[in-house]
Amino acid sequence: MSDRLSRSRLAPAAAGLAAVGLGLAAAEIMIRADWINRFIVPPPSEVARGISRIVLEEHIGHRFLLTAGECLAAGLMITVLGVAAGVLIHRFRLLRQATETWIAAWAAAPVVLAYPLFMVIFGRNAWTIIMIGFVAALPPVILKTIEGLSTTRKVLVDVGRSFNLTGTQQFWKILFPAALPTIFVGVRLGLIFALINIVGVEFLINSGGLGQLINDLAERYDLAGTYAAIFFVVLVSVAFFMTLERIERWLRPID
């Protein structure tokens, strides 16, 4: 029974890894057969060698931690301030009517292009990068928090009312836990926005981190190294997603 259970838990991860492996093998074959130009896409085997090379030559650990740290700072800010803003906007109908469309429009704005303005305000340092990540990633968290709170089933709110809950109890014991899965969708989306913008700004302003490394390697036309650096960006993303998943499971063990 427990064997079957552990097998069923491992199966999705194994299937996912197998799919990635098959994709990489197919890419390797197509590149080696010259169906894909190797000067545009390097073979995965060269990228794999590139990973060990950039680890040794490009201070990848430091860069990885810098990008991950910036992403963590922006992620914490969007979670705390985005959820708080969402709660506030949900609470006051007028505020919601006045701002929701603007926030949705802001989500589509290419905030990264405003990097010169952020550099003037914060200087050429990590704060510029964190703040661009934060500003770009805030809208999905706010919007999803509003959505989660407003779509809480009426019957759950009525249960709270029938037990004479105060407004604060109604929020913490019913509305917030009911909205958590949707809020987490917002935080996940926000983290994607934050990471894209953080790596993009690092690339643009050459201020350390994985984005700067990708820029350097691309300019040296080291394609294998460029793709290897991108692999580390994916690793940052995976690390954050796994952490978030664990936090969500801890807060809401099952739905």
Partner 1 sequence: MAADRDSAILTADDVTVRFATPEGVITAVEDVSFAVEPGEFLSIIGPSGCGKSTLFNVIGGLLTSHQGTVRVAGEIISGPHPSIGMVFQEESTFPWRTVSDNVAFPLELVGMPKRKRIERARRFIAMVGLAGFENRYPGELSGGMRQRVALARTLASEPKILLMDEPFAALDEQTRLLLGDKVLQIQQQLRQTTLLITHNITEAVQMSDRILVMTYRPGRVKRIVDINLPRPRDSEIVGSEAFGRYVAQIWNDLREEASRGMRDAETHALDHEAPP
Selected from 174, 198, 228, 236, the binder of partner 1 by CB under 8 A is 174
Interior CA angle at 172 toward 254 and 184, to 5°? Answer: 50
Nearer to partner 1 (CB atom), residue 81 or residue 180 = 180
Size of the site for partner 1 (CB under 8 A): 21
- Contact flag: residue 34 with partner 1 (CB under 8 A): no
Q: Are 180 and 125 in contact (CB under 8 A)?
A: no
By the rule CB under 8 A, 164 interacts with partner 1: yes
Interhelix angle 126-150/83-91, nearest 10 degrees: 40
Residue 155 in the binding site for partner 1 (CB under 8 A): yes
Q: Does 180 bind partner 1 (CB under 8 A)?
A: yes
Residue written as token pair 């958590």: 180
User: Which residue in 92, 163, 172, 241 binds partner 1 (CB under 8 A)?
Assistant: 163
Question: Of 106, 147, 177, 185, which lies in the binding site for partner 1, with binding defined by CB under 8 A?
Answer: 177
Return d(Cα 124, Cα 182) in angstroms, integer.
35
Among 153, 220, 246, 249, binds partner 1 (CB under 8 A): 153
Count helices and strands (H / E) in the chain: 12, 0
Backbone CA torsion sign across 69, 75, 81, 84:
negative
Query: Is there binding between residue 252 and partner 1 (CB under 8 A)?
Result: yes
Q: Which is nearer to partner 1, 101 or 168 (CB)?
A: 168
* Distance (Å, whole) CA 29 – CA 37: 12
Residues that bind partner 1 (CB under 8 A): 153, 155-156, 158-159, 161-165, 169, 173-174, 177-178, 180, 251-255
